[in-house]
Each structure stands twice: as C-alpha cells, then as structure tokens.
Structure 1
C-alpha cells in the first residue's frame, strides 16, 4: 500500500446513541447526522465542534436525504414516516405518516422522494404535492439502500433478501435483478460518471457492475465483516468503504486496489462498527459515523500519488 497520509482532524460528540444517518447539505460545507437517540444535528465543516440541533424525534433515525433543488432535509423517522425540514429556516414544514415500519434510506430525484422501508416497499412521494404517488413492492425483506443514476434514470435497490434490483424511474419497470451477494446488501453507489455500480453488504464482498449491462465485472473480498456503506470522491478516482469490522478502507476506482486502511490501532479510528462514510465535496475530507456515538473527520492526502 502506498504512502498515503491520513490525519484525523476531529472527533465530534453529542449523540447519545449509535449514529446511523449521514448526509451532505446542498451547501456541502454543512452535513447532517441522525442517530438512535432521535436527534438530527447540523454540523459545519468550518467550525465542526459546534453541532446544531435540527430535530428531536421519539424514535431512531436511520435515513437522511437532502433535496438540493429545494434545500429540504428529509428525515426517515422509524415507525412514524418522514419529516421534512426547510434548511433555509431549519423549520419542519411537513410530515407524512406513510409507514409504521423502519425507514432505511431516502433518495430524491427531481420532484420525487423515494422512501425505502422495512416491509420490502419503496414509497414514492411527490415533493411539491406532499403526497404519496406510488407504492413499489420490491420484495418481502427490508430495503436497505438505494442510489440513483441520473444519466440513465435508473434506481438501484439493495435489500436484505441478498438482491440488487434496478428500476427505470420513467415507468418504474424492473430492468435487472442481481442475486450474486450471499447476504443482505447494505452499500451501493454509482460512480460519478454513471458507468459503474458498486455494491457491498453483510457478506463483506464488494461487487462491481457495469451500469450499461449490469454484468458482474469484479468480486472483491473487501472487509472482515459487513460492509455498511461506500462513497466516491467527487472526481470518481477513489472511493471509501466502511464496515462493521470498525475500519474505513480507501480504494482506487480504476484498479480496485486497496490503498489504505484507517482503523483504531493505526489511526485512532472508531472502536465499533462504522455505519456510514461520505467524501465531502466541500473540502475533500472524509466524514464517518459509528455505533460508538461519535463522528470522525479525516484528511486523506492523495496528492503525492500522482
């Protein structure tokens, strides 16, 4: 592995339970976290120590999504549905009790929001009308993760039935069904150029798919335990994965070579499962959240590699 410098800049505290949800703001200087304590907190990368409480809910928050066009924060409130915060005022402007199940992920695209639930259902909302448009029954098990390829209008869905399914957002038709994972799929992300889909999950494997054909290109044993999440750097050249094995790993997107392992013993990383990770568009820092109730911010210096 190369001599990549990793520097832990901050450890942020304030949540009283495992931190499950993490999303970047429309202005990527800000990011948002949600946790088992029902708190949703806004953080400022310029002044990271000062978290600002945005919402306090009675149940866990597993899912957060920022709708950039309207500067709205969607909160998936387990057993209660969705709450929508106007980020210009930080006030809740509407909520919908659309499910009494857990909400594992939310994605928005155009004027629609897609809510992934514990009942195998994706609930499609009209953001302007604040109403339900459609129920998409995907399967019987939890839907854990979704991503949208805006170039193809494809929605990729990872579920606890070990499957990855692809839908056309223009007509909600199923386009592809991949059953290559041997356990729940928790992580899934299209590359910034839209040409590749990477998936991961409880089987600790990363699988790389061509998004033109959804044929399997690569299968990598990537972690010791479940892969919880992955995210690309904005330019698409690198991506990071995080795992129940307490580590964050850095990968080359072209070669899929493992470049760096960030963990507790080497870098004072997290002591328990790392649940989500994002690569900030604001300053290219890496932000991670964990069951240890903390948020970590990392500087990864890749410049000397080229």
Structure 2
C-alpha cells in the first residue's frame, strides 16, 4: 500500500476551447494538446510554457498517438481524417481517412508495425507504420467505439463500445477472441497492466477484468459521472482515473483501494469543469478538460 502526496506544479493556459487529447513528444520535456481549437499545441513542461502550434487541422481532435522512433504524431479528427505529422520538420507526412464518422481512438502496435484507428462507425482500420498503407479493415461493433487498449506485449487488443461491450481481438490476424457486456452504459476508458484490463464507463463504474476471458475480478463506483481515462502508472503499482465529475482519483492497482481524491471540493486548485484527458509524464500527472486548462501535478509515493 502507498501513501501519496500530490501538488499542483503548473497550470498551462492558451486553449480557447475544450481539450480532448494529450500526447507525449519525441522531445523529452514536451507534450502536445488538442481539442476543439482545430490546432495541435506543443508545450515545454520544463519551462512551464507554450512552445509552438505544431499544425492547424480542419476539425476537432479526439485522439493522438506518438510514433516515437519516427518522431511522428498521429492525429485523429472529428471529420474522419488521420494526419501523420513529422514533429521535427513540422510537415504533414501522410493523410488517411475512415469511410465515415469521427476517429475517437488510435493505438500503435510496434511489435507488429501497425496502427489501429476506430471511431463513430465501429469499424477498425489498420495501417502499416512503415508506409501508412491500409492493411486491414474489419467491423468490431455495430455502434460507436471510443477506446482501444493493447495488452503488454502487443498480442491482443481490446475495444470498448457504446453499448457497454468490450471486444477482445488477437492481433496476429485480428480475429475475435471474446466479447462481453461489462457496462450498463458506453465504455469510455480502457487500460491494461501486466495482470489486468481496467474498464471505465459512462455509468461511472471501474472494472478490473482478467485479461484472458474478461471475467470480473473487482468493480466499484469510481466517480459520480463518466470515467474518461484510466491511467496506469508506468512504474508504480497505482492507476489514476479522471472524470466528468471534475475529480482525479488515484487507486492501488491490485486492490483498487482509493489512495487520493483530488478536486476543488477537497481543497485543491483543480479543474472546475469536466476532465477529459490525462497522461503520466514520469511522476507528473497531466490533466486537461472543458475548462481549457492543462494542469501539471507533482506526485510523490511512499510505500507503507
């Protein structure tokens, strides 16, 4: 069990509209943010300030994925386009698109050299990371899919749909392995650790699932409203959840014991509107949302 201290390090301002997505940069102290502003912004966390606008885009951004080895940022847009932008040269390398509807989720599978995109139409598109040619296209769900997560090692990938189902696929040939209704409302967040798949939904529930067959190990009501992100810490045995209820919660990964609750009501200078996205950046937690702010939190851990 851990004791956790969390303190606000910086608040980054400049966005004029809600923020929906954050991503790491190939630069070690930079991140990207995007949302309804129709532009992708780069921030220098070390300096705590705006760096540049990487690119302008024709529609809202719902998802971003860094291809670190190639220094390319992949951007998923509301209009169904997927842009691949060279971070160093600041040029558009490739533009792909889905047949219709917004792109809500992106996931690279480095082990297979592939990129998956899915969204409003419930169809997954798989592109080659080498040349961005379309390799596969398959229907996952008859309704919207908002989230993708790959298991450690990249052998299987999970999709969460609007009807509360999680769809598990084998990555080798993208064959369906398991389909199970987990939530009573849409699945809005997925995250995997070495042992479990975690799922969050519009029903405010957090589920801990066995990876093999999606059976429920534990579940609880994590928030008052939608769970928008589940963020597994890269080293410590904890995870964070963020929500439409404007709170950040940090949990022990195996027991799901609540370790810290961060919100304005708890006395923190936290978000005052829905928190839509977040990411771990070493031992800093980065959050952003409808209040157009990016908040950088310093998190310290001590094992009991």
1:63 corresponds to: 63
The aligned residue for residue 277 of structure 2 is 276
Match of 2:289 in 1: 290
CA–CA distance in structure 1, aligned partners of residues 76 and 223 of structure 2: 28
Higher mean displacement: 82-91 or 291-300: 82-91
Give the superposition deviation at 1:236: 4.2
Aligned-pair CA distance for 1:213: 3.5
User: In the aligned structure 2, how far is the partner of 1:184 from the partner of 1:19?
Assistant: 21
In structure 2, the partner of 1:227 is 227
Distance apart, 1:127 and its partner CA: 2.3
**CA drift at 1:27:** 4.5
Deviation at 1:140, TM superposition (A): 1.7
Distance 2:292 2:73 in 1: 21
Q: 1:28 to 1:278 in 2, by over 3 A?
A: farther
Q: Are 1:195 and 1:212, in contact at CA under 8 Å, matched by a contact in 2?
A: no
1:16-165, aligned counterparts within 5 Å? 16-110=16-110, 111-151=113-153, 153-165=155-167
CA distance in 2, matches of 1:56, 1:124: 25
Query: Do structure 1's residue 242 and structure 2's residue 242 form an aligned pair?
Result: yes
CA distance in 2 between partners of 1:27 and 1:157 (Å): 30
Q: What is the CA deviation profile of residues 189-223 of structure 1, one whole-angstrom value per residue up to 9, with x for unaligned ones? A: 001xx221100010101000111332210011110
Q: Could you tell me how far apart the structure 1 residues matched to 2:162 and 2:25 are? A: 28
Q: Assess if the C-alpha contact under 8 Å between 1:141 and 1:159 holds in 2.
A: yes
Any stretches of 5+ residues in structure 2 without a counterpart? none
In terms of fraction of residues, the more strand-rich structure is 2
Cα separation, partners in 2 of 1:156 and 1:296, compared to 1, 3 Å: same
For residues 91 and 154 of structure 2, what CA distance do their matches in structure 1 show? 34
Partner Cα separation in structure 2 for residue 3 and residue 237 of structure 1: 12
Distance 2:222 2:272 in 1: 19
Give the 3-state SS of the residue equivalent to 1:69 in structure 2.
helix
In structure 2, how many angstroms separate the alpha carbons of the residues matched to 1:72 and 1:88? 8
Q: Please state how far the C-alpha of 1:3 moved relative to its aligned partner.
A: 6.0
1:170-185 correspondence to structure 2 within 5 Å: 170-185=172-187
1:300 aligns with 2:294: no
Contact 2:202 2:226 (8 Å CA) reproduced: yes
Aligned-partner Cα distance in 2 for 1:28–1:205: 34
1:51 alignment partner, SS class = strand
- RMSD of aligned residue pairs (Cα, Å): 1.7
> 1 CA distance for matches of 2:14 and 2:289?
13
The Cα of 1:263 is off from its aligned counterpart by 0.6
Question: Map of 1:196-235 to 2, 5 A cutoff?
Answer: 196-235=196-235
Contact 1:31 1:43 (C-alpha < 8 Å) held by counterparts: yes
Separation in 1 of the partners of 2:220 and 2:49?
A: 37
SS of residue matched to 2:47: coil
For normalisation by structure 1, the TM-score amounts to 0.94
Separation in 1, partners of 2:239, 2:2: 15
